[in-house]
Amino acid sequence: MTESVRHYEVLVVGAGPAGLAAAKAAALHGARVGLVDAQPRAGGQVWRHDIAHGVPAIARRALAAIEGEQIEFLAQAQIALAQPGWLLADGPGGARKLHYRNLVLATGARELLLPFPGWTLPGVTGAGGAQALAKQGWPLAGKRVLIAGSGPLLLASAATLRRHGARVLGIHEQASSAALARFALQLPRWPAKAAQALVLQAQLAGVGYQRGSVVVAAHGDTQVREVEIEGPRGRCRIACDQLAVGYGLVPNVELAQLLGCRLERTGAHPQVAVDAQLRSSVEHVFAAGEALGIGGRDCALIEGAIAGHMAAGNAKAAQVLLPRRRQARAFATLLQQTFALDHRVHALAQDDTLVCRCEDVPLGQLRGFSDQRDAKLASRCGMGACQGRICGTALAELGLADPRLSTDDGRRPPLFPVRLAALAGLPTEPSFTDDSQGIHP
């Protein structure tokens, strides 16, 4: 049975930097705001609560903003269904039907994990995944951890793991020395980013940063014991207790897709298409942050504020922020160019390497299909718990799957497993989009 129905003038999905900024901006204009997140606490990926070290001051300020009466925060509420004008959130607190006049999608991003021999061994995680585990109390003291993959998240993850007592053996970045040198030359154009880089450098003093270096295999029995690396000086093996490998981030577009929002693509992965004021192609639906393409925390904060002002009907306040957004997005483009994946990374998986970890499907079983749907029906690839979020994304990156840009056939509800009772009890309530019955003037 659906236990409650809520009505909001502005509903924000995702309580990361973008969602927090959107909720705050909308509330400034007096709107009644709902903020919903699947996680038990607000903060999103970057400000995930660290049980040993709390959250940084900037996060505390952003989190304090949602404590006012005008913003209702619904934690542990996962949006599983969407219709124009309302969403269904389900979680331990029960199912809730959330009606909105305007919606802001701030659903963030997830890590891009790519298959390589040994990647399913215990002790191998994503770089961001390892960071999240550390913050939740995963014991790391004295463990030898190797960090690899691509992008700035490797540095943030290494700093977190070190703070939690891990012995970080080294960071292996696949981008070339030349690409990183070009990046360093451009960095002073973004002084705040340059300052962040210096802080990370200080936190990681003594940790080696290898460029053009790729993990080609993890070896072990019941657990990873050794990692095989291919770098500019050839191959070598390094003994370790944990391996954290992440190849950047991929926008979470599934909810936007379910709502029928147009998607677009700059690389292998789709992102939500918006206009300059962050309006999606669907009326009353705005989007902000990583869902629009990977831009980082500061970009998410600016875009969240723009979307929040717009959703509350104040285009003038949004307009003021547009130049800052352009500047932040220019940095995102530089990141994309710098950390573009080397062809070696795309060729790591062998025919016997598992691609779909939920259903144990190796790469060799997926070759020869011209259509992603046929491959799925024949192999069960993507039919497990992650519903293709990991394997489908990896296949798209490897160029072996259609990234499903079409909004017609791309996504079927529910987005996540949902209790039958929640579906059975859906009440019929007037929505904001129904002018004749809406509860607001």
Ligand X SMILES: Cc1cc2nc3c(=O)[nH]c(=O)nc-3n(C[C@H](O)[C@H](O)[C@H](O)COP(=O)(O)OP(=O)(O)OC[C@H]3O[C@@H](n4cnc5c(N)ncnc54)[C@H](O)[C@@H]3O)c2cc1C
How far is residue 320's CA from residue 247's CA, in Å, rounded to a whole number?
34
81 or 366: whose CB is closer to ligand X? 81
- Residue placing its CB nearer to ligand X in the complex, 297 or 404: 297
Distance of closest approach, residue 368 Cβ to ligand X, in angstroms: 33
The alpha carbon dihedral of 259, 264, 269, 272 has a sign of: negative
Angstrom distance (rounded) from CA 275 to CA 264: 12
The nearest distance, CB 74 to ligand X, in angstroms, is 9
Q: Cβ closer to ligand X: 62 or 229?
A: 62
Coil, strand or helix at 362: strand
**Shortest Å, Cβ 416 to ligand X:** 7
- Interhelix angle 191-203/153-163, nearest 10 degrees: 40
Residue whose CB is less far from ligand X, 77 or 363: 77
Helices (H) and strands (E) in the chain, counts: 14, 21
CA distances from 333 to 185, 248, 329, 368, 419 (A): 15, 14, 6, 35, 41
Choose between 217 and 422: whose C-beta lies nearer to ligand X. 422
Rounding to the nearest 10 degrees, give the CA dihedral for residues 264, 393, 151, 328: 20
Q: Is the dihedral of CA 293, 147, 353, 416 positive or negative?
A: negative
Q: How far is the CB of 374 from ligand X (least distance, A)?
A: 28
Nearest Cα neighbor of 38 from 104, 84, 107 is 107
| Min dist. Cβ of residue 342 to ligand X (A) | 21
The SS3 of residue 300 is helix
**CB of 22 or CB of 217, closer to ligand X:** 22
Angle between helices 297-311 and 322-338 (to 10 degrees): 140
Q: Which is nearer to ligand X, 153 or 390 (CB)?
A: 153
Of 126, 152, 106, nearest to 332 (Cα)?
Answer: 152
Task: For residue 414, say if its preceding peptide bond is cis, omega within 30 degrees of 0.
Answer: yes
By C-beta, is 249 or 312 nearer to ligand X?
Answer: 249
336: helix, coil or strand? helix
CB of 51 to ligand X, least distance (A): 16
Give the C-alpha separation, 387 to 401, whole Å. Answer: 15
Nearer residue to ligand X within complex by CB, 71 or 249 = 249
| CB 236 to ligand X: min, Å | 28
**Cα 348 from Cα 352, distance rounded (Å):** 11
User: Which residues lie near ligand X (CB under 6 A)?
Assistant: 13-19, 36-39, 44-46, 78-79, 106-111, 128, 131-132, 153, 156, 249, 252, 255, 289-290, 296-297, 300, 415
- 77 versus 240: smaller Cβ distance to ligand X: 77
Q: Which helix (H) or strand (E) holds 379?
A: helix 372-379
Give the nearest distance from C-beta 94 to ligand X in angstroms.
15
- 3-state secondary structure at position 439: coil
Q: How many CB atoms sit inside 10 A of residue 334's CB?
A: 17
The least CB distance from residue 89 to ligand X, in Å, is: 7
Pick 32 or 110: Cβ nearer ligand X: 110
Yes or no: say if 105 and 287 are a contact pair by the CB < 8 Å rule.
yes
Name which of 108 and 149 has its Cβ closer to ligand X: 108
Least distance between ligand X and beta carbon 438 (Å): 24
- Burial pattern 217-248, b for ≥16 Cβ within 10 A else e, equals bbebeeebbebbbbeeeeeeeeebbbbbbbbb
**At its nearest, how many Å lie between ligand X and the CB of residue 228?**
25
Smallest separation, CB 235 to ligand X (Å): 29
Q: What angle do CA 15, 32, 24 make, to 5 degrees?
A: 45
